[in-house]
Amino acid sequence: MKKLSALAFILIFSFSSAQVSEFQKADSRYERKIKSLYRKYPKPNDERTKQEWLLTEEKISAYKNALEKISEEEKKMITDVPPPVVPKITKEAAYETGKASFQKLLTEAVDLTFLNFAVNPYKINLKFTLDPKGNASQVKVKGNNEDVNAFIEAAFYQIRDKGKWKPAESNGRPVLSVVNLPLQLNFSK
């Protein structure tokens, strides 16, 4: 059982790493196209604004597609493993350097400058599964703007390896748990 669980999570993380590059490809493609657009239309006008909006929509769509692929792969991996017995949690999961540190890292990873998004603070509920080794998967973000939520979710996958989560414990033993984290993120222009 443990070997099967470990194999499933290894496969999830190797696939998720590949998906992080999908975010980078979307960013690179957007930057390349926006530079080309600005060379074609150096001064703001209606056509440039229209094209900027189309490029923004294309980037949002690319991010959502990458997140959907991650979600589908995680679902496939999880269904291969029998559902665990839910133990009583005696110690909640925590980020190794604290919630504020995690929140700062996540905020810095989210780039919304191209959206001209300036709702401060932006309140979200971040929910994910944390295995007994501290590996996060099945990330979901709930907030008021679906597009912004997708970029926050993508940022989580991009920073996932930059810090470590301490898993929840049941009687001193690490266990699988669901982390539900309300956060307020501040985005500056």
pLDDT tens per residue across span 66-111: 999 988 888 776 644 555 566 788 899 999 999 889 988 998 888 8
pLDDT tens per residue across span 132-176: 999 999 999 999 989 889 999 999 999 988 889 999 999 999 998
Buried b / exposed e over 26-39, threshold 16 CB at 10 Å, is bbeebeebbeebee
Between the alpha carbon of residue 91 and those of residues 17, 102, 157, the distances in Å are 29, 19, 25
Cite the DSSP H helix spans in 41-130. Answer: 46-79, 99-109
CA distance linking residue 93 with residue 179, whole number of Å: 7
CA distance linking residue 165 with residue 12, whole number of Å: 17
Q: Are 133 and 174 in contact (CB under 8 A)?
A: yes
